[in-house]
Amino acid sequence: MKKGSKGVIVTEDNDVCRLLQFCPDIEGWPTSWAGEEIDITPGREIVEFLKPFLLYLLTTKLSPKTLRRYRDHMWKLGGEVIGSLNDDPSLRRKPVEKVIFDLLEEEGGPLIWPQITEQQQDAFDASCRRLYRFLQTVIDKDKIILKN
């Protein structure tokens, strides 16, 4: 991984292969979230923003089941970001990185309930907390304004 002007980007072929093994459908995530054609571009940006975190997870000693849970939660988070963009069109003017970071808190992610159970929300929040901590350590805050 290498830092770029818009955060962390994937640059090594090996990383791409590992990511595709872990998330074979990742290129289809933007389409799965899209309610309209306008959602595809931010969906792709969300995927690019989440890739370094997904790769980081592969370097941990987490069990395959836990890794799959994190992956699935990142897919769910992406859908929530697209939902936020549709609920508040003014968010489309902000960088997707800021929209994601604004949805995250130290305590977790956006409230999905009542669509999911409290136990599922707790697990989703745990994944979002880990993403939040990861972002705190890798994002060059001088280049991406994440908090006001």
Does residue 148 lie in a domain region? no
For 59-75, how does the pLDDT look when each residue is reduced to its tens digit (9 = 90+)? Answer: 999 999 999 999 999 99
Whether the CB-CB separation of 53 and 75 falls below 8 Å is answered with no
For residue 138, what pLDDT is reported?
83
What confidence score (pLDDT) does residue 15 get?
84
Query: Is 119 within a domain?
Result: yes
Q: Is residue 94 part of a domain?
A: yes
- The domain of 35 spans 2-138
Q: Is residue 84 part of a domain?
A: yes
Alpha carbon distance 128, 110 (integer Å): 9
pLDDT at 21 over 60: yes
In the predicted structure, residue 57 carries a pLDDT above the cut 50? yes
**How many domains are there within the chain?**
1
Residue 14 lies in a domain: yes
Cβ atoms of 91 and 99 within 8 Å: the answer is yes
The C-alpha angle with vertex 133 and arms to 148 and 71, in degrees rounded to 5, equals: 115
Return the pLDDT at 100: 97
pTM exceeds 0.75: yes
Q: Is residue 35 within 8 Å of residue 86, measured between CB atoms? A: yes
In a domain, 143, yes or no: no
More confident residue, 106 or 142: 106
pLDDT in tens, 83-120: 999 999 999 999 999 999 999 999 999 999 778 999 99
Residue 71 lies in a domain: yes
Dihedral sign (CA 3, 142, 96, 40) = negative
Q: Is 23 among the domain residues?
A: yes
Residue 113: its pLDDT value, please?
Answer: 73
